[in-house]
Amino acid sequence: MYAHVSNQDRYKIINEIERDNKFGWNKICSSYDKIEIFENNCCSFSLIDQVAVYCQKLTQSFYQIEKNKIKYYSNRTKSFHSTQIVKNCNQDYDFVYRISFPVVSADKKTVLIKITQDCNCMLGGQGGTYVFKKINNCWKLINSYNYWIS
């Protein structure tokens, strides 16, 4: 059965993934990147959760990233800071992260998310579509699709 995942839950999961994997995304584009969902990147979800995945795929374009909802952990200050939400995501030579609407399993233990680090220059950046699983209260990367680096 499809279980609704609230926006509050999604932001909590995004912040936990950032904390546990130390992305350091201090700037994020204000629009969610579109995530392509195919059979091969749904194999990390149970058959029942695949219904939830497809429902979220259909609704992902209705959402925007809200200000002051995403945080990043600074190793320098050993504290969390609000991520800057950037509207003009194509400024030359300015690193910005782009993330997709996180697709969350019904039990909120598995997440499919596209993450791109973009320098807005000819070469420099990386990204892919990732599957994270919550194991021992920590989000672990368990699979990646379409990974690229330049």
Contacts of 52-60 with CB under 8 Å at 24 or more apart are 52/2, 52/3, 52/5, 52/103, 52/104, 52/105, 52/106, 53/103, 53/105, 53/112, 55/2, 56/5, 56/101, 56/103, 56/104, 57/103, 60/32, 60/34, 60/35, 60/100, 60/101, 60/103
pLDDT on residue 41: 66
126 located within any domain: yes
How many domains, the chain?
Answer: 1
The tens-digit pLDDT sequence of the chain (150 residues) is 445 788 899 999 999 999 999 888 888 988 888 887 766 667 777 777 877 777 787 777 778 888 899 998 888 888 889 999 988 887 765 788 899 989 898 888 999 999 988 877 667 788 899 999 999 999 999 998 887 887
45 located within any domain: yes
2 located within any domain: no
57 located within any domain: yes
1 located within any domain: no
Q: Which domain holds residue 44?
A: 7-149
19 located within any domain: yes
